[in-house]
Structure 1
Amino acid sequence: MSSFSLRRMALKGAFACALSTGLSLSAHAAADVLRVSAIPDEAPTELQRKFAPLGKYLEAQTGMKVIFTPVSDYAAVVESLATRKLDLAWLGGFTFVQAKIRTNGTAIPIVQREEDAKFTSKFITADPTIKSLADLKGKTFAFGAPSSTSGSLMPRFFLQQAGLNPEKDFKNIAFSGAHDATVAFVAAGKAEAGVLNTSVWDKLVEARKVDTDKVRVFATTPTYFDYNWTVRGDLDPALVKKLTDAFLKLDPKNPEHAEIMALQRASKFIPSKKENYDGIEKAAHAAGLLK
């Protein structure tokens, strides 16, 4: 065999070895990254701010690098979980139902805030003539995002139970895209009334980002299950346990956890399960949002 052939074989072997090592390093690096996102129910900058201390905590608890990536719409979170581009996601109740269906039942809700077991939505207005749901007839109205549990699906369900059909009974319907945007719509007169989740409403009131002398709550929905943290179904069970335990250990009385819990607007995290969202799935079918 010529020296040229020997050299070529040696180079091919070295290249194969380098490629194999590179792929191993790449796979190892990917395995050490926890990819996280959330439904865009608030402005992307607010979602990043809320997640930052939680991300650092999860890094310490799992030993992994945590990367949070905001997305443009609700469907993107569902699709990213289904295609394994995300490991962990903050979902609303309806978005979880969509994720469960899209992943053939493999997506797993691991925890929810205690508050999410009895969640509500607030109907708001700046119009003094609107005092009840019945007064919405002939008015312009703003929902949040079409796939929002607390900004669209469940309020719509309760409106229907009150005998109102938004498409027929309201003068016009708008979708603001996010809870904070709904408040801005109503405050600016772009809609005579709207609906958003109670947690965001309370946060905006506390931060004085809404003038309650102008915009007020005139009705509150009955309670329902809402948000949770969901993992993709094929995530390593040991990692799923680490993540679940990390959330369940969070305690607002612990100074190291106080900021995390305040930003998450949580008194505590509790275990979640798929069955919690059966009622939301039925509401979605009733509203014609699921086939």
Structure 2
Amino acid sequence: MIDRRHPLTLRQTPRILSIAGTDPTGGAGIQADLKSIAANGGYGMAVVTALVAQNTRGVRAVHTPPVHFLRQQLTAVSDDVTIDAVKIGMLANFAVITEVGSWLEECRPPLVVLDPVMVATSGDRLLDASAEQALRDLIPHADLVTPNVPELAVLLNEPAAIDWTEALEQGERLSARTGTTVLVKGGHFTGTACPDALVNTHGLLTHKVLEFTAPRIETRNSHGTGCSLSAAMATVQARRGNWAQSLAEVKDWLQDALAHADELEVGRGNGPIHHFHRLFARAGASSSPGARA
């Protein structure tokens, strides 16, 4: 992890910048990030790295705006707004990754969460070899990196972990190499439980590995779960300043969002999670016939 000039100041409503691609159906990317940030008490801002033609059944096309326009977006925000945390998602190519890295070195935000979008759900690699290495080089700029199991393997240039124990070992190796805390996610494995773990080998946590387990939610509507988790972690950490407490809070919220995802009925494929279930539930309770005026 690279030292930064700006210390983290905890805020009740932190200002969170998402740097990511789009999803026109609203389940992933920038759209999911903004929902996650708001649902977890932050003020969301967004810089678009790629315009993605996708829906709940897959990606159809990607348009990457020129990097000079990306930089104009980034500086337009940072010249005016104090950024409490940054969440980074889809970075489409080498030039985009390099530009974001340059901006991070210049702006030095106090908190950075990197979701390394490298492997599609189908298993296809989304970046060429030079871009993959550039993304590896970006990790020391982050406080937390949140790869799924295939992405964790790509970051280490190793085969994908076959079980949770092996995934944790890979998380330790990635943290040792980069100095960054790794959120190892167990969503790709089978079983009734869904574990996640914070891993840091440099003494930045109370223990080298902190595991959190919750029941696995059986739903096909999990589109954008990784985007939503990382954006929520950036937001809650900017409020709490404690990674373990942040993950416990975010995991509880995400369980609710997955448990009620089927209620949305969005799309005919892998639909989105229900980011605002708790808000909708409160609104429904307050408007029920028995509610007080």
**What TM-score does the superposition give when structure 1 sets the normalisation length?**
0.30
- Which structure shows the bigger proportion of residues in helix conformation? 1
Structure number with the bigger relative contact order (C-alpha 8 A, sep ≥ 6) is 1
| Structure with greater Cα Rg | 1
